[in-house]
Amino acid sequence: MSLQTTIVMDDIEVQVLDPDEHDPRYRVYVQRADGNAYRGRLNLDGMPAPPAGSSATIASYGLELFYRLFAPPLDDAFQQALAAADARQRGLRLRLWINSVDTTLHEIPWELMHYSASSNEVRPLATDSRIAFSRYLDSTEPWVEPLEYRPLRVLLAIAAPADLGTAAWPDLVAIDKQNELRELEAHLSTLRNAGHLHLHPLVVVSPETLINALQQPYDALIYYGHALHHRQRGTRLVLEDHDTGNATLFESDRLVQCLRDAAERPAWSS
């Protein structure tokens, strides 16, 4: 898809809800943009723990996770929605709503899902250029009012530690910061040229520079980089050490606290 224009998206929404009294499996509802709706069940019995191995192991786990969520007939609903979007040269926006307080659902790294793009090709769903994937959580917090002023001030943090993909972090793919910045700027060029937003990229994305930057009145934060999750220790962002440029881990809870403490709290985007 061209990066020079705004991509038109078709929508598919997936809701995961608690089981009912008739079936111990989670309920799954899928709604396509054309109005077609589907119902299914999510069974997590025997689902392995998230892998920490090779890309092939992650792909295998991601594919199993996908077929757990999109168990027949929901897999057809996804493939039909993707095919319809491709036929009209559109992207597919996939929204996953976790409408449950069950921690089992929230601990699952849904962003690792892979799908069968063809008989011999498996693709990561969250990074496929044709798909915009996002996960939403059920919350009692009220929706905030949209910002009416322009331009929006956007802080961009692309974390690209120098030792990704080396013996220190063999399973984390290296990130080309300048290339990713160029692509993101191209994606947002229409909005930037129209004066709707100002993009402020951090040169070094270390814990110190990120915390300091969040003291400024930004309207939104975009984080692009790796994160690691541990069931007991929680989630860590993989940032850059300010002195060496190598990877250093930053607790996500600290980031959340920084956002809460900021005088003008940025909206979270990832």
* pLDDT bracket for residue 231 (50, 70, 90): low
What percent of the chain is predicted at pLDDT more than 70? 89
Please tell me the predicted confidence (pLDDT) of residue 5: 43
Query: Is residue 116 domain-shared with residue 187, that is, in the same domain?
Result: no
Q: Are residues 38 and 156 in the same domain?
A: no
Mean pLDDT, residues 132-138 taken together: 82
User: Which sign, positive or negative, has the C-alpha torsion 102, 48, 50, 128?
Assistant: negative
Mean pLDDT score of the chain, rounded to an integer? Answer: 86
Residues 47 and 124 in one domain: yes
Q: Are residues 30 and 132 in the same domain?
A: yes
Which two structure tokens, joined as six digits, stand for 196?
Answer: 């709707």
Average pLDDT over residues 195-199: 91
Percent of the chain as helix, strand, coil, to the nearest 5: 25, 30, 40
Model pLDDT, residue 138: 63
**145 within a domain of the structure (yes/no):** no
Domain containing residue 232: 152-269
What mean pLDDT comes out for the span 194-212?
94
- Averaged over 13-27, what is the pLDDT? 94
Alpha carbon separation from 103 to 77, 100, 108 (Å, rounded): 27, 8, 9
Answer yes or no: do 98 and 170 share one domain.
Answer: no
Question: In which band, very low, low, confident or very high, does the pLDDT at 270 lie, cut at 50, 70 and 90?
Answer: very low
In the chain, the number of structural domains is 2
Distance CA 173, CA 39 (A): 36
More confident residue, 27 or 258: 27
Higher-confidence residue: 94 or 234? 94
- Structural domain contains residue 51: yes
**Comparing 131-135, 169-173, 212-216, 231-235, which segment has the lowest mean pLDDT?**
231-235
pTM given for the model: 0.62
**144 confidence band (pLDDT: 50, 70, 90):** low
Residues 119 and 33 in one domain: yes
d(C-alpha 137, C-alpha 142), whole Å = 13
Q: Model confidence over 66-118: pLDDT tens digits?
A: 999 999 999 999 999 999 999 999 999 999 999 888 888 988 989 999 999 87
Name the pLDDT band for 50 (thresholds 50, 70, 90): confident
- Of the candidates 109, 137, 165, which is a domain's last residue? 137
Residues 162 and 228 in one domain: yes
Tokens in use for 75? 């897999």
Last residue of a domain, one of 137, 165, 182: 137
> Domain check: are 85 and 133 in the same one?
yes
Looking up tokens 């999109």, which residue turns up? 70
**More confident call, 206 vs 231:** 206
Q: Are residues 132 and 160 in the same domain?
A: no
pLDDT beyond 50 at 199: yes
Q: Which of these ranges, 65-74, 140-149, 194-203, 250-259, has the smallest mean pLDDT?
A: 140-149
15 lies in the same domain as 128: yes
Cis? peptide before 151, omega within 30° of 0: yes
Name which residue leads in pLDDT, 3 or 108. Answer: 108
The confidence score (pLDDT) of residue 233 equals 67
| Residue 30, domain member (yes or no) | yes
Instruction: Note the pLDDT of residue 4.
Output: 38
In this predicted structure, the answer to whether residue 32 has a pLDDT above a threshold of 90 is yes
Does residue 72 fall inside a structural domain? Answer: yes
More confident residue, 195 or 5: 195
pLDDT value at 55 more than 70: yes
Cβ-contact 58, 66 below 8 angstroms: no
Q: Residue 110 carries which DSSP code? A: G
Residues 107 and 17 in one domain: yes
Q: Is residue 4 part of a domain?
A: no
Q: Is residue 2 part of a domain?
A: no
Domain for residue 209, yes or no?
A: yes
Query: Pick from 78, 105, 137: which residue ends a domain?
Result: 137
Q: Could you please report the per-residue DSSP string of 126-166?
A: GG-TTEEEEEEE---SPPPPPP-SSSEEEEEEE---TTBTS
Residues 97 and 175 in one domain: no
* One-letter identity of residue 81: A
DSSP state of 207: H
Does position 249 have pLDDT exceeding 90, yes or no? Answer: yes
Q: Answer whether residue 54 is part of any domain.
A: yes
